[in-house]
Amino acid sequence: MSTLTEPFAFALDAALEAHRPAEVRGTGRSDVRMLVTDKAAGTIGHRHFEDLPALVRPGDLLVVNNSATLPAAVVTRQGLRVHFSSVRPDGSWLVELRDRDKPYLGDVIGRTLDLPGGFHLYLERRFGKRLWVTRPPFASVPDYLGRYGKPIRYSYVDQQWPLSAYQTAFATVPGSAEMPSAARPFTPVIVTRLISAGVGIAPITLHTGVASLESDEDPYPEWFEVGEYTARAVNSAKAAGGRVIAVGTTVVRALETAAADGRVEAASGHTERIVSPADPVSVVDGLLTGFHEPRSTHLSMLEAICETGLLRDSYTAAIEARYLWHEFGDVHLIA
């Protein structure tokens, strides 16, 4: 049984983990449930993702992440999996090692791993307790992964799905280790309905690294870009009284990194911004997101957008109503 206690230290029933994509277990990508938390009214409702165009307003702006997912997992000759997480400002990479679906926290003989294709990956030093800094021995990590990699898959997903299952409708810029999954339910039909209803859509890019579910870690630096078009669209929507609704926590991080004094300026680089009640949002009014794991730092971000008591009630409602978690699961609209 799943329970929700102070402060978001809840146990997640394995039966609430989404094992398969929505289009496999249902009728299509948009066939997911959507919990709706109305901040102003203090209410919680149960809807379907296809209801989204009726729940946003003309003049609102949805900001989406256009980062595409890499096949970021490879298996070494030693039997360990390497998850290529994210590039660092100096050109090195963070990687995670895994063994039997758990982070591998032990030593590596000679700190060298034998990769497919005859390459040898030297681990320079640890980054935290489960990541390593390395300089890959090939010119292009995305090209290498395109030849030898597979999408990162965790134990709750029941089989290996193709890379296309881990791309969103907005994915155009390869670079994420894991899918920016909040946008997964969007389809061309839903996008058309939103635009026809007077809702704007604008992109940012943030290449998301591997999840940190096991270690309760703070987010580490990730590469992002907020372009001139999106900066103008956000500022115009705010000035006209519209709401800026981020599609995913990655979008919140990018927009709030590029924000100053309630306005967004074009920006790019590596962000270390950690949005929380201690460092709250200034331009994001709402959020469409998945359901986050117990003690996840993402929950702290949600508390920067939604009052803690209401957010806790929302998670209680989601658990009681058997919403599904993880990248193939249901979604939560906070607005």
Q: What is the pLDDT of residues 14-64, one digit of tens each?
A: 999 999 999 999 999 999 999 999 999 999 999 999 999 999 999 999 999
Q: Are strands 102-103 and 93-99 parallel, antiparallel or unpaired?
A: antiparallel
Structure tokens at 113: 């791993």
Q: What is the pTM of this model?
A: 0.95
Look at residue 202 and tell me whether its pLDDT is greater than 80.
yes
For the chain, the first-to-last Cα distance in angstroms comes to: 29
Decide: helix, strand or coil at residue 68: strand
Which pLDDT score is estimated for 215?
A: 56
pLDDT of the residue at 12: 83
pLDDT tens track for 64-87: 999 999 999 999 999 999 999 999
- Which tokens belong to 297? 């730092």
Q: What is the pLDDT of residue 213?
A: 55
* 111: alpha, beta or left? (left if phi > 0; alpha if psi -120 to 50): left
Task: List, as one string, the DSSP characters of 112-143.
Answer: EEEETTTEEEEEEEEETTTEEEE--SSS-HHH
Query: 85 to each of 40, 88, 93, 117, 223, how far by Cα in Å?
Result: 38, 10, 7, 20, 11
Identify the pLDDT of residue 218: 76
**52-65 pLDDT, tens digit each:** 999 999 999 999 99
CB–CB of 332/63 below 8 Å? no
Quick: pLDDT tens for 265-305.
999 999 999 999 999 999 999 999 999 987 777 888 999 99
Q: What is the DSSP string of 253-293?
A: HHHHHSEETTEE--EEEEE----BTTB--SS--EEEE-PPP
pLDDT at residue 7 is higher than 60: no
Residues with Cβ < 8 Å from 277, sequence gap 6 or more? 300, 303, 304, 308
Q: Which domains does the chain have, with CATH numbers?
A: 14-69+162-334 (3.40.1780.10), 74-148 (no CATH)
- Residue 9 is predicted with a pLDDT of 67
| CB burial of residue 278 (10 Å; 0-12, 13-18, 19+) | exposed
